Amino acid sequence: MKKLIAIASIAALAACQSEPAEEPVVEETVTEAPEAVTVANGSAPGTYEATAADGTVMTTVINEDGTYTDSDAEGNVVAEGSWAVVDGKTCFTPTTEGVEAMCFTESEPAEDGSFTATPDEGDPVTVRPAAAAVEEVAAE
């Protein structure tokens, strides 16, 4: 009988023990990396040299924040505003008075990063990263 009481006491004590505490559930927040900002053909923001069919050269600085600046060959700012990719085209909306908005369809970039940008109205423009343009001049 003593053994039975001892076993019953152990069983009763075991039943009285509290359940082990559950570990707190840690919720993970998955943050996706922001998508890289690019123009329609995948080229990154940066400084580009654009050469028109008539030989006119412009420098365009495309910023990650959605702004841009166009400068002439002498470095004078001739247009500035915002840019965005709309319907697969890179579109520039100037804040400069007298300059109209334009959208360009771009070719795939070549190995050196250059590409052709064709406006909705007008002649194609050859665009190359400013670093590639400087290297080409140095090679001449």
Residue 101's pLDDT is 96
Can you give the residue ranges of every domain in the chain?
46-139
Options 2.40.30, 2.40.128, 1.10.3470, 1.10.357; CATH for 46-139 is 2.40.128
Residue 2's pLDDT is 45
Residue 8's pLDDT is 40
pTM of the model: 0.69
Burial of 1 (0-12, 13-18, 19+ CB in 10 A): exposed
**Which spans in 1-140 are helix H?**
2-16, 130-139
Residue 29's pLDDT is 59
Q: Position of tokens 């943050």? A: 31
Residue 131's pLDDT is 78
Sign of CA dihedral 54, 60, 62, 68: negative
Residue 103's pLDDT is 97
Closest CA to 104 of 7, 77, 88: 88
Closest CA to 105 of 89, 121, 92, 93: 89
**Which spans in 17-103 are helix H?**
none
pLDDT along the chain (140 residues), means of 10: 42 48 61 70 94 96 97 96 96 96 96 96 95 54
C-alpha distances (whole Å) from 126 to each of 2, 10, 89 are: 100, 88, 16
